Structure 1
């Protein structure tokens, strides 16, 4: 009787919890694994998730194929690269795929990298329908360089990207209060206008920060000029299509980027290759890149160093380029971790000699000299120079590379 009296004296909330707890205990005694009792509906979607996972499995073989057997770091980064590419692909192919309700989102971050990302750049993109008209609005900010570009072809999906048109900070009309409006449309518009074609489907914005703390990025949004109402109700057809598209994108990129790294390595280690002008017809297919606006020149290289070795990379930066940068990348064409290590340099970060020359020191341990570029435990990897928008007649510098014993640098 005392027990019953005590139970009925409890508040309604506590009494409900007590009964729920008792029910859970009772259910646990005869608990059945629901997976064993699940029957197939027999329709075309009953194995949707398994179909997605089966497609995704294909990407895993690329990690084992392109990673040296004795390099645990490369393999670990390879599997992490797959997870990062999957996250990026799901956001791009499923969450932000609706061109009728576009979202301008930051696609690449310190933990979501892609395709030789530059630590100095911020990347934003959106899917669009080139036959429609869109308005981009916001504040310009103070980043020294900004490029707003539209393409035919969804970058990162395996489709080739064809550059259609772009505007840069040179072209943009900005209000006295820093406000900005850009129109994307097939027909000419007053003010800031970017021409689109019926096949245009991708908007990509790059912002360059020379000073990470001082440069304020542009804050922009996108909207259709003639919105078409609320999004359509989610369907299984749509989810299946977009999940499989995301899985195929992971599989494509799992092989494409390490293959490009391999190509560069076969041309020789510990040197900087000849300049590559993106989009140039005389480049080999593996190095041709039509996704950048004109005026970008790349110089790749491949380092191969023991822990007690270093590379001295010396050059005199030309005055006729608006930006130059140097960065290290791993086998999967991701920049090394710039959150915690100095893995790149640019015209603001680098220290010059009294003669105006810069010597970068690529090594795994601190050499005790300026301009140390940390390999963060990588014995091998990519090096990449970027020379952005050289003025007419500008000659790129001679880049000299010397491999030395790390201990010998104490004499410098």
Structure 2
């Protein structure tokens, strides 16, 4: 039997580290209701969701601090139902693996029927509608300072989406991730070095986004990652110093993220209409979202292939917002979803608070019209506010190559009773029983997407 040596110094150091982390978390809590830290208005619902938001960041920070290992990486859920944030896309499964940008890794995947990635018709039990792998330098917000969004920096490095991947007929594929492409390499490759404004930067994460359009049939990828010079080696045991560093990182991450995104919303997006800084992504007046545009450095690690539009809605009980989209160039994917002011997507399992290109109806004139309202107007393209009188509206269009003509929006606030006067006569409608079936499909899909087994 191994000898057991009691170590009072380790005991005291770890107790102190844990206590310090709790103090940092208490400091992070101030971002929920301290006006100096620019939180949402302190309504009962905003406060309740704020504590959930803080708990979600704490959950994520513990996993990041204790599980991110560049020698022995794995893909973890960067965002899930317990830790929604940063205006997450309701259609997305966000996966993240920490890497050393100077080392080489192999990602191995297997997809169900992927023919739709190549412009062909998909079948039952198919792969996600759209998949993209991206190397990024860092998580936006980890510094806690808006200065990280300067034009001289960027988050995104190399990327590959489903249409660019070389895939075997059985759905298997591999991606080499490395600082440079080996001579003679003919397969899928993502570079971990990126140059921006004349500065070379090294990527420290691989992000995989799996976007689901058909929530009834699409299946997530089987995905693995390994560092090539560590294959078969054991992971070293945890040390006291490592735990102390991890605990310190937990508190730092939560503090930084809570404060950063409060400031981002208030200052960069001008969400309250009083920011002294005017930026290209600042929100216009409520109920008038930005016209679609590519991401800028000021939105951090946005999906590289996306065109974005964002804004605020403010609606009273008997009001509704009609959004009319004109899309001249067909994208790989479109999505629209509602978020609270903390940046959490609404409950998209139990409410129809989001719609994508397969879920939304296209009108006979080729335009897509959505209705945001507190109650069901009986149209297919209803977005449920879940009772939030104020919220955020996020719209995305994903293209492999930037289109030569961007989507445009027309937005109109109307009385709920007048909705039909502003919609085509042939607008697609649903019954109460059909809406219940839609919600059943959503509930089952979200359980499957985020299953813990």
TM-score range, shorter chain: 0.7 to 0.9
Q: Give the structure 2 partner of residue 360 of structure 1.
A: 370
* 2:107 is equivalent to residue 103 of structure 1: no
1:256: Cα distance to partner?
A: 2.6
1:304: Cα distance to partner?
A: 0.9
**Post-superposition CA distance 1:108-157 (Å, at most 9, x none):** 22222121111111111111112222111120332232111112224553
Q: Give the structure 2 partner of residue 400 of structure 1.
A: 410
Q: Which residue of 119, 126, 130 corresponds with 1:145?
A: 130
Q: Give the structure 1 partner of residue 238 of structure 2.
A: 234
Could you tell me which runs of 5 or more consecutive residues in structure 2 were left unpaired when the two chains were aligned.
1-7, 113-126, 149-153, 194-200, 274-283, 424-453
Q: Give the structure 1 partner of residue 320 of structure 2.
A: 310
**Normalization by structure 1: what TM-score?**
0.82
> Are the equivalent residues in 2 in contact too, given 1:52–1:243 (CA < 8 A)?
yes
> Are the equivalent residues in 1 in contact too, given 2:107–2:226 (CA < 8 A)?
yes
**Post-superposition CA distance 1:70-117 (Å, at most 9, x none):** x211111111000011111111121x2111111112222222212111
Aligned residues: 365
5 Å-filtered alignment, 1:117-136, equals 117-136=88-107
Could you tell me which runs of 5 or more consecutive residues in structure 1 were left unpaired when the two chains were aligned.
1-38, 281-287
| Aligned-partner Cα distance in 2 for 1:107–1:391 | 26
C-alpha distance 129-372 of structure 1, shift in aligned 2 (>3 A): same
SS at structure 1 position matched to 2:296: coil
1:268: Cα distance to partner?
A: 1.4
> Are the equivalent residues in 1 in contact too, given 2:111–2:171 (CA < 8 A)?
yes
Q: Give the structure 1 partner of residue 391 of structure 2.
A: 381
* 2:27 is equivalent to residue 75 of structure 1: no
| Aligned-partner Cα distance in 2 for 1:111–1:268 | 31
| Aligned-partner Cα distance in 1 for 2:30–2:61 | 19
Q: Give the structure 1 partner of residue 16 of structure 2.
A: 47
Q: Give the structure 2 partner of residue 35 of structure 1.
A: none
> Are the equivalent residues in 2 in contact too, given 1:136–1:220 (CA < 8 A)?
yes
**Normalization by structure 2: what TM-score?**
0.75
| Aligned-partner Cα distance in 2 for 1:325–1:50 | 43
SS at structure 2 position matched to 1:271: coil
Range 386-395 or range 247-256, more displaced: 386-395
* 2:178 is equivalent to residue 185 of structure 1: yes
Q: Aligned Cα RMSD in Å?
A: 2.4
Q: Give the structure 2 partner of residue 275 of structure 1.
A: 292
> Are the equivalent residues in 2 in contact too, given 1:272–1:300 (CA < 8 A)?
yes
C-alpha distance 42-187 of structure 1, shift in aligned 2 (>3 A): closer
Q: Which residue of 361, 371, 375 corresponds with 1:351?
A: 361
> Are the equivalent residues in 1 in contact too, given 2:306–2:397 (CA < 8 A)?
yes
| Aligned-partner Cα distance in 2 for 1:45–1:217 | 39
**Post-superposition CA distance 1:275-315 (Å, at most 9, x none):** 342235xxxxxxx1342353322111101111221111112
| Aligned-partner Cα distance in 2 for 1:72–1:293 | 33
1:391: Cα distance to partner?
A: 5.2
> Are the equivalent residues in 2 in contact too, given 1:320–1:394 (CA < 8 A)?
no
| Aligned-partner Cα distance in 2 for 1:158–1:345 | 33
Q: Give the structure 2 partner of residue 11 of structure 1.
A: none
Q: Give the structure 2 partner of residue 258 of structure 1.
A: 262
